[in-house]
Amino acid sequence: MSETEDNAWLVNAESVESIQAVVCDLNGILRGKRVPVGQAKKILEGGIRMPLSIVGVDIWGEDIVGSSHVFASGDMDGICSPTGRGALPVNWTLKPSAVVPLWLFKETGEPFLADPRQALAHIVRQYHELGLRPVVASEMEFYLIDSEPDHAEPPISPYTGKRLDSDAILSIDELDDFGQFFSDVYAECERQNVPADSAVAENGIGQFEINLMHTDDPLKAADDALFFKRIIKGVARKHGFAATFMAKPYGMRSGSGMHVHFSLIDEAGNNVFDDGTAEGSEIMRHAVAGLTRGMAESTLLFAPHFNSYRRLRPDTHAPTSVTWGYENRTAAIRIPGGKPSSRRIEHRVAGADANPYLVMAGILGAALVGIRNKWEPPTPVAGRAYQTKAPRIPSEWGSAVTAFENGAIVSEIFDQELRSMLIACKRQEIAGFSEQVTDFEFSAYLEIV
């Protein structure tokens, strides 16, 4: 369905009760306004305004203390324009509704580059100036969980009536047990033009993965990932359980990742990573070099939350070292096998909890820096990357924030306004977590120390 058709559908819809006009914040959370259907034309013509500071609030939706975007500047509004995605029907709510994705511009009409979607668009424009188009796809992992407890607990199978109690990697039976859920997911994805491909049962209890098909429009790829997550959560609620994209909802189970595959095509449609060999082209190696050099300072984008760092542990199928290799899933950067014409890079660091726009901007931006500087990557790792002496990916939230703050490569990729807002946001969140005493701490220390 085209954007024009989408918009006509919304303006003329009689069954839709309300519209959600939304922007995506730095945490990958949609924030915005519920608007009557009668205001559809106003939204679609860019007549909605929201504070620029809305993209920088913390995970709890609180303003950042001392932010220059709030009280010091009068908390000025930005112009919210439709992204071009069109209006998206939402059918899992009590009454049908619609979502209109928006992005932020300044009063002057300039893109507000602290908006994560604008940050990605800025990188994509630079590729286009070089006559290149990134082709991007993502693999999204998630857990289905029981909606009743206040902690992660496996769901009850709709087929057997029993709670899931074991890992079932690549289990067809488990996919069948949740067959109606997946049928509804695919139906909603089709309605929202999210190109969902194959689904598999993953390694954790109630963990699944759905691949999203590749596109030469990275903005659409990031949109797809963002709205896919919303579809999964909404359809799960409709079926009486919940879904989570937490990086590590169970301490001793597999984490959930968002693996990003990308290649580059030239104006003739040729894959410039393909040189006819299994090793890939020189430009591919330059891209890998940019990714490895920028990985430590970009980790905050891939692991943005307190829980994210529980996933980045050895022997968990999540990377821990700044490494790359051919057909090696223990490395942070994997070059998949197959025909040379399909040569691509798989970036395996990001958790499913990360913001897709910032993840893709960080990956494509670092690759671009490597290509421009014609950097050469380190030696590809063979075998178990966890045992190498390569530099480590930051394993602690605070050190990742510091690396991002001091990073020379991320300063080339992102506008200073975005960087300062993200750093302030994460430091406020770190302070919030540090003030909490957990039940585990309480039971360990209360009477014994």
Q: Residue 396 sits in a domain of what CATH number?
A: 3.30.590.10
Within 8 A by CB and 6+ apart from 127, the residues are 133, 134, 264, 364, 368
User: What value does the mean pLDDT take over residues 288-297?
Assistant: 98
pLDDT surpassing 70 at residue 166: no
Q: Does residue 168 sit in the same domain as residue 45?
A: no
Distances (CA, A) of 174 to 10, 257, 261: 37, 20, 27
Domain extent, residue 106, equals 3-110
Of the candidate ranges 120-129, 196-205, 220-229, 368-377, the one whose mean pLDDT is the lowest: 196-205
Rounded to whole angstroms, the Cα distance separating 346 from 259 reads 7
Q: Which two tokens stand for residue 337?
A: 């096998």
Band (4; pLDDT cuts 50, 70, 90): very low
Instruction: Give the global pTM.
Output: 0.94
Q: Which two tokens stand for residue 161?
A: 């009536």
Rounded to whole angstroms, the Cα distance separating 107 from 147 reads 43
Of the candidate ranges 86-100, 143-157, 258-272, 304-318, the one whose mean pLDDT is the lowest: 143-157
Which of 289, 307, 297, 290 lies closest to 247 in space, CA to CA? 307
Distances (CA, A) of 441 to 100, 444, 449: 44, 5, 11
Secondary structure (3-state) at 172: helix
Rounded to whole angstroms, the Cα distance separating 360 from 135 reads 11
pLDDT of residue 253: 86
Average pLDDT score over the chain: 90
- Residue 255 is which amino acid? G
Q: Which two tokens stand for residue 12?
A: 């003329």
Question: Does residue 430 sit within a domain?
Answer: no
pLDDT surpassing 50 at residue 403: yes
Rounded to whole angstroms, the Cα distance separating 343 from 225 reads 22
Q: Does residue 104 sit in the same domain as residue 132?
A: no
pLDDT surpassing 90 at residue 93: no
Contact present, 236 and 144 (Cβ < 8 Å): yes
- What are the two backbone dihedrals, phi and then psi, of residue 190, each rounded to the nearest 5 degrees? -65, -40
Q: Does residue 139 sit in the same domain as residue 86?
A: no
Q: Does residue 131 sit in the same domain as residue 106?
A: no
Q: Does residue 131 sit in the same domain as residue 174?
A: yes
Which of 397, 437, 446, 429 lies closest to 25 in space, CA to CA? 429
- DSSP alpha helix (H) spans, 207-294: 218-238, 282-293
Residue in the block written with tokens 């075998």: 383
Which of 71-80, 122-131, 306-315, 387-396 has maximum average pLDDT? 122-131
User: What value does the mean pLDDT take over residues 275-283?
Assistant: 95
Determine the distance from the C-alpha atom of residue 332 to the mean position of all C-alpha atoms in its chain, rounded to a whole number. Answer: 17
Within 8 A by CB and 6+ apart from 62, the residues are 428
Band (116; pLDDT cuts 50, 70, 90): very high
Of the candidate ranges 83-97, 148-162, 360-374, the one whose mean pLDDT is the lowest: 148-162
Q: Does residue 198 sit in the same domain as residue 50?
A: no
Within 8 A by CB and 6+ apart from 342, the residues are 263, 271, 274, 336
Which of 87-96, 103-112, 202-211 has maximum average pLDDT? 103-112
Cα 150-151-157 angle, rounded to 5 deg: 100
pLDDT surpassing 70 at residue 1: no
Q: Does residue 91 sit in the same domain as residue 130?
A: no
Strand partners, 176: none
Band (5; pLDDT cuts 50, 70, 90): very low
pLDDT surpassing 70 at residue 169: no
Q: Does residue 51 sit in the same domain as residue 130?
A: no
User: What value does the mean pLDDT take over residues 231-236?
Assistant: 95
Contact present, 1 and 86 (Cβ < 8 Å): yes
pLDDT surpassing 70 at residue 72: no
Q: Does residue 241 sit in the same domain as residue 173?
A: yes
